[in-house]
Chain A
């Protein structure tokens, strides 16, 4: 997508970049300027009708000043010399305030130049706007129509489908981070977010299915759609939504649970990712997002899960949603184990949080946009594949449930007591997937849940996905995180169903 400004900030040597460099103050200990140029497009066909196309163009910059132990920020959408000058003055002023009354943080004086670009196989010109709209109309039609392969009576389909949506969003985000030591980091992200949803109803009963609840997103071009099977999902989720209307409620009891990768996304995010964020452990988020049951002395010795649990921070998975070369403090990003053979070894915190806590971290200080400062975010947080095929996982279960796609999530502020619900479930009886069940939920406690991990799927079921919207921070920030996982088996989990009969 074409930038709204004449020269992209990601154009080395451009007039704008020269202006940004020139704005960096020289009378302070250190300063950076982070300029973000974002273009987005949102297309949706809802109940068969194309919704108004929406695009956004957003450009701005944040100046950060470190001086005499203080740090301050100034952000503006006015990139003229006057506008940048205002941002510099504001950052200096706040650095002075925080020097007197704030937490001291060392400047990133070692920041070095580099670049990152999303891997794009096909340009969007290979799927122009008209074709994108046609694609969504086709998927929307499949969400509501009978086909030869459907096992649902055709006369009942249209009457039971009460809502449907096929959507495609994409964002091009170019970021340039310039530092007063002359360093220049350029990152060019290309994000793609496909989505499908369908709701079936019968009286006061409704059941909805989606395309992974938004988890099937990533970096790249139109190939992201193919990578996640966007074109093959509509009929399947439509038939599943209808089948759920007459399915029995999920049984209640303690039993084995196999979680599909698109539910593992949520499980990893809420009960591993957030508890390991160092800024939560440091208390920054206690007024809003919460704290953590993890305490500093746990690192290096705490058995977070069974010895089958291996979790990495991996910013280098090609095409995953939160892959990048550098975080927004300019730290080069590299793969690290956070949990190895079940033992907690490292937290999720950028350089600032590492300095403050004295704990090992990773390059994950990220900002959602130019108008927010970086905070600790989880980026790509992945479960490494294990040794079991999906059939072996299911085959080892005498009585349990298989659950797909998150529909409800709730967890306490220290990320310990959780309750999650899924869109779709199947009973597992004597090692085989049997009948469909509706409203499946399970609850547990993070500190013990991962110790019940009994089986980890191999590469066959491993999928790289993401969470497009993770909210955190004050001021609030919404950002995408990546999560990859195979299907996983957990033992003795508290499972239950809904109220709807």
Chain B
């Protein structure tokens, strides 16, 4: 797999081909990944992937254009590709006028972050997983390996972020999905174990938690009618809500063009509950602290403070367009390391504090049912229980909710847990994700379920 010296050499050779009025920005995304997909606790698909992709932004005066290409790891071949791409980009510049919103870092500091944990050999991880899943219907995916992000420009700035991580995202099912018996199908406990150092004891503790949930799910389920219910949202469910709000919720462009789902906080003085403070927490996240134009990300950006909107994520482009300072956001202006500050409620007493109502382990497939009103719909999924007097009574068949964030995390939010759970993103569209969230559970009075 491509290493730092290779990246430097490739960029240096490309920079030698630049004209005096040209600047080149390069971003690298490379990974070496083993993946093991499991169904019914046996391997469904497994393999290894070695991939590298470099993005180039060629700038001449106030004009720029972009391209990316996969890399081979063979210097002569990659140099030839870079040369060809640069020629293509130069040809395009003639069609493009000055870009008034072009902004790139000219005085950035170089940096290096390398963290290789004790990631097990994939065969060993599979052995642990299959041993822990003995007698269980396990489905999920294990993905692990090295991953690097790099930035370099022709001005001499170099940034390197390299980690070795694993992420095992799995579900125990009570019964086979291909049976009609609703008493067992769709009853499942989801969990995840991810990080830098595989610790067998820690993993088995997670498995034990899943087993406990699954045993509770074995009770006969009940179908709760649509209604408003006092509801405890476990951290994974809160994560699903804030993930959706992050879709256009915190970027300067979406705010300036009134497309943010939090528009009422900006235009109509709406607010969330005073317990809710939310930040882009780069310092404690797992994502690189630099972006594709070379700007550094600050340790944190406070987005919502005590329920009030405070700041937006500002890409360099938005900074120029809306006359603001960039805070190192990527072009999509979406959080990479979102954190909700914990509250004061004892996490261990969540069921007791819920009393009678719904315990929701996960939400699923959330979307806006009225975006300007920040009204959200979605489904319960996996471990959802009816609770009476602080005791789990029965699993609940899936329910659809449709409610406003201003209710769920606003007027009807009773309290947040005093601990926040770190959830490392298991997604792998195009490449393994570096994103993470840190969120507490939430107790809500009267969450609206509709179907």
| Interface, chain A (partner B; CB < 8 A) | 2, 4-5, 47, 49-50, 52-60, 62, 71-80, 83, 86-87, 90-91, 93-94, 97-98, 101-103, 129-130, 133, 162-163, 199, 201, 203-206, 208, 280-284, 286-288, 290-292, 295-297, 357, 369, 371, 373, 407-414, 417, 419, 421, 439, 441, 443, 445, 471, 474-478, 498-500
- Closest chain A CB from B239 CB (angstroms): 15
15 CB < 8 A contacts A-B: A4-B85, A57-B68, A62-B47, A76-B50, A77-B50, A77-B70, A199-B259, A203-B267, A206-B263, A282-B39, A297-B180, A410-B365, A410-B367, A410-B369, A477-B429
- When the two chains form their complex, are residues B69 and A58 in contact, meaning their CB atoms are under 8 A apart? yes
Q: Give the complex CA separation of A287 and B402 in angstroms.
A: 24
Q: Write the chain A residue with the least CB distance to B267.
A: A204
- Residue interface mask B167-206, A partner, CB < 8 A = 1: 0011101001111100001101010000000000000000
Question: Which residue, B177, B370, B371, has most C-beta atoms of chain A within 10 A?
Answer: B177
Q: Write the chain A residue with the least CB distance to B265.
A: A204
Across the interface, which residues of B come within 8 angstroms of A129, CB to CB?
A: 92, 95
Q: Give the complex CA separation of A80 and B347 in angstroms.
A: 54
Q: Give the complex CA separation of A53 and B99 in angstroms.
A: 11
- Could you list 15 further interchain pairs (A-B, Cβ under 8 angstroms) beyond the known A75-B50, A78-B73? A55-B67, A62-B47, A73-B47, A75-B48, A75-B49, A101-B43, A103-B40, A103-B42, A206-B263, A284-B37, A286-B139, A287-B171, A411-B365, A499-B373, A500-B373
- When the two chains form their complex, are residues B400 and A73 in contact, meaning their CB atoms are under 8 A apart? no
Provided the pairs A53-B96, A58-B70, A74-B48 are in contact, do residues A419 and B451 lie with their beta carbons within 8 angstroms? yes
Q: Write the chain B residue with the least CB distance to A129.
A: B95
Q: Write the chain B residue with the least CB distance to A71.
A: B45
Across the interface, which residues of B come within 8 angstroms of A103, CB to CB?
A: 39-40, 42-44
Main secondary structure of the interface of A (DSSP, over half): mixed
Q: Give the complex CA separation of A295 and B182 in angstroms.
A: 12
Q: Give the complex CA separation of A94 and B35 in angstroms.
A: 10
- When the two chains form their complex, are residues A295 and B180 in contact, meaning their CB atoms are under 8 A apart? yes
Out of B74, B84, B176, B372, which one reaches A283, CB within 8 Å?
B176
- Closest chain A CB from B324 CB (angstroms): 16
Of the 9-residue stretches B51-59, B154-162, B295-303, B414-422, which lies at the interface with chain A?
B51-59
- When the two chains form their complex, are residues A498 and B258 in contact, meaning their CB atoms are under 8 A apart? no
- When the two chains form their complex, are residues A443 and B450 in contact, meaning their CB atoms are under 8 A apart? yes
Q: Write the chain A residue with the least CB distance to B375.
A: A499
Out of B50, B69, B379, which one reaches A412, CB within 8 Å?
B379
| Interface, chain B (partner A; CB < 8 A) | 33, 35-37, 39-40, 42-53, 57, 64-74, 77, 81, 84-85, 88, 92, 95-97, 99-102, 123, 126, 130, 139-141, 143, 169-171, 173, 176-180, 185-186, 188, 190, 257-259, 263-264, 267-268, 321, 364-373, 375, 377-379, 381, 398, 400, 402, 404, 427-430, 450-451
Q: Give the complex CA separation of A500 and B374 in angstroms.
A: 10
Q: Give the complex CA separation of A411 and B66 in angstroms.
A: 37
Q: Give the complex CA separation of A199 and B253 in angstroms.
A: 13
Across the interface, which residues of A come within 8 angstroms of B51, CB to CB?
A: 60, 75-77, 371
Q: Write the chain A residue with the least CB distance to B97.
A: A50
Q: Give the complex CA separation of A107 and B208 in angstroms.
A: 38
- Closest chain A CB from B425 CB (angstroms): 11
Q: Give the complex CA separation of A221 and B40 in angstroms.
A: 45
- When the two chains form their complex, are residues A97 and B268 in contact, meaning their CB atoms are under 8 A apart? no
Q: Give the complex CA separation of A2 and B178 in angstroms.
A: 47
- When the two chains form their complex, are residues B71 and A77 in contact, meaning their CB atoms are under 8 A apart? yes
Provided the pairs A78-B73, A282-B178 are in contact, do residues A52 and B50 lie with their beta carbons within 8 angstroms? no
- Closest chain B CB from A97 CB (angstroms): 6
- When the two chains form their complex, are residues A286 and B173 in contact, meaning their CB atoms are under 8 A apart? yes
3 closest Cβ pairs, A-B complex = A73-B47, A102-B43, A498-B370
Q: Write the chain B residue with the least CB distance to A203.
A: B267
Q: Give the complex CA separation of A283 and B126 in angstroms.
A: 19
- When the two chains form their complex, are residues A281 and B74 in contact, meaning their CB atoms are under 8 A apart? no
Across the interface, which residues of A come within 8 angstroms of B139, CB to CB?
A: 283-284, 286-287
- When the two chains form their complex, are residues B52 and A77 in contact, meaning their CB atoms are under 8 A apart? yes
Provided the pairs A86-B50, A476-B428 are in contact, do residues A163 and B177 lie with their beta carbons within 8 angstroms? no
Out of B49, B67, B257, which one reaches A162, CB within 8 Å?
B257
Q: Give the complex CA separation of A86 and B51 in angstroms.
A: 12
Question: Which residue, A162, A477, A498, has most C-beta atoms of chain B within 10 A?
Answer: A498
Q: Give the complex CA separation of A2 and B87 in angstroms.
A: 12
